[in-house]
């Protein structure tokens, strides 16, 4: 199973599974389809054995990158987990500068801790999740339909760091649809927008302490201590 450690085995299993699934989609005979189902099950079992081998050798560290087969299966499962009706739902909120600005403010306050203001996921939280927060400017996210993005925002993704944010109210739905518009805008986000978002990011404990020290100083207390590094950076 050493090949799995280098990704070659996982890519082979993934390729083999794709061939079997493609054959199943074309098979018309029930007996043939049953045989292909069994073959697909064996391929999945092979992948599971390879995955178990990796776990035994490397443990459950969140520092590792998901293997090729993990990532491919996760994307497929994510796609299948979104009901077709939800995937095909159009964004009911009209696109415009104000809508994008409101989505940007919401993203800065609720999402940037993991995803970064630019959506690339290069934050201490985002880099240390398993799987790591995705680069939302790339096609893997941008190719999702508006309905898929909305569904993921509202329902989260199991076994990842993505929580479910929807509370079922009409107002919350509108806010999520505005977020979808902003996510679409991420590939073109400007440095000015990112800088503005810094002022909207949640304040850290260190920043609160600095503000309190400054308040006491202005009221006649001791001079504030030298600035310290923040707990984490939202600006990436």
pTM tops 0.85: no
Q: If phi over 0 gives left and psi between -120 and 50 gives alpha, with beta otherwise, what is residue 178?
A: alpha
Q: Per-residue confidence at 2, pLDDT binned at 50, 70, 90? A: very low
The domain segmentation of the chain, as residue ranges, is 2-26+40-53+63-81, 84-198
pLDDT at 45 over 70: no
Q: Per-residue confidence at 1, pLDDT binned at 50, 70, 90? A: very low
Q: Per-residue confidence at 135, pLDDT binned at 50, 70, 90? A: very high
**DSSP code for 137:** T
**Whole-number Å distance between alpha carbons of 99 and 176:** 11
**Whole-number Å distance between alpha carbons of 122 and 113:** 10
**Whole-number Å distance between alpha carbons of 38 and 24:** 11
Instruction: Report the CATH number of the 84-198 domain.
Output: 1.10.760.10
Mean pLDDT value of segment 75-104: 89
Q: Per-residue confidence at 44, pLDDT binned at 50, 70, 90? A: low
**Whole-number Å distance between alpha carbons of 76 and 131:** 15
Pairwise pLDDT comparison (182 vs 46), residue with the higher score: 182
Contact 136, 144 (CB under 8 A): no
Predicted local distance difference test score (pLDDT) of residue 179:
97
Predicted local distance difference test score (pLDDT) of residue 5:
44
**Whole-number Å distance between alpha carbons of 205 and 213:** 12
Contact 43, 17 (CB under 8 A): yes
């Amino acid at each position: 199973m050493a090949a799995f450690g280098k990704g070659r085995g996982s890519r082979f299993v993934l390729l083999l599974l794709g061939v079997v699934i493609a054959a199943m989609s074309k098979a018309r005979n029930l007996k043939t389809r049953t045989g292909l189902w069994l073959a697909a099950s064996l391929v999945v079992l092979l992948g599971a054995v390879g995955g178990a081998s990796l776990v035994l050798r490397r443990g459950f560290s969140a520092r590792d990158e998901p293997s090729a087969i993990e990532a491919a299966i996760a994307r497929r499962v994510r796609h299948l987990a979104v009901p077709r009706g939800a995937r095909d739902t159009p964004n009911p909120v009209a696109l415009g500068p104000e809508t994008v600005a409101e989505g940007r403010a919401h993203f800065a306050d609720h999402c940037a801790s993991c995803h970064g203001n630019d959506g690339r996921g290069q934050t201490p939280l985002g880099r240390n999740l398993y799987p790591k927060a995705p680069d939302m400017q790339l096609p893997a996210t941008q190719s999702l339909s508006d309905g898929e993005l909305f569904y993921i925002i509202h329902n989260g993704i199991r076994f990842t760091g993505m929580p479910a944010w929807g509370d079922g109210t009409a107002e919350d739905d509108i806010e999520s649809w505005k977020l979808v518009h902003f996510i679409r805008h991420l590939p073109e986000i400007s440095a000015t927008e990112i800088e503005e978002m810094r002022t909207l990011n949640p304040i850290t404990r260190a920043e609160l302490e600095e503000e309190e020290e400054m308040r006491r100083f202005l009221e006649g207390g001791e001079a504030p201590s030298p600035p310290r590094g923040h707990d984490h950076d939202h600006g990436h």
